[in-house]
Amino acid sequence: MKPSDFHERLEKVQREWPNDHQRQLNTFVAGRKKFKPVMRHYFTEKHKTSITWFQMRLCYSRSIATTSIVGHVLGLGDRHISNILFDNVTGEVVHIDLGIAFDQVNSCNPPL
């Protein structure tokens, strides 16, 4: 099963059974069993020495904490995987596409 198949299956259950939360949960749990978390392996694969591994993990956790706090305080929405960049060298997380957060959604299009 590909992630897109899992996503489609979950959306189908949500559409067909909008009030059956137990069925939706069971579908999610069944699909989740096929996809194990692997982020913990990423840092080990990128950096083979313990000090560089630790520095990357520390930088990652600090950037996640900082952006989470700032995002909460500023009320940033529209945060999803397509709006986040990950630096493969340092481990920093950078949020992009903040147009919605600063009311700049249609800044390139002139008003009608």
- In this predicted structure, what is the pLDDT of residue 46? 83
- In this predicted structure, what is the pLDDT of residue 43? 84
- In this predicted structure, what is the pLDDT of residue 112? 44
- Rounded Cα distance between 35 and 29, Å, is 10
Q: What angle do CA 15, 20, 22 make, to 5 degrees?
A: 120
Alpha-carbon separation of residue 74 from 3, 12, 106 (angstroms) = 32, 34, 21
- In this predicted structure, what is the pLDDT of residue 15? 92
Q: Rg of the Cα trace of the chain?
A: 19
Alpha-carbon separation of residue 106 from 71, 99, 110, 112 (angstroms) = 22, 8, 8, 11
Domains in the chain with CATH codes: 1-36 (no CATH), 37-112 (1.10.1070.11)
Enter the pTM of the model: 0.58
- Rounded Cα distance between 40 and 34, Å, is 17
Taking only the tens place, the pLDDT of each residue in 73-105 is: 888 766 777 788 888 888 898 877 765 555 554
Taking only the tens place, the pLDDT of each residue in 38-71 is: 877 888 888 888 898 899 999 999 998 998 888 8
- In this predicted structure, what is the pLDDT of residue 105? 47
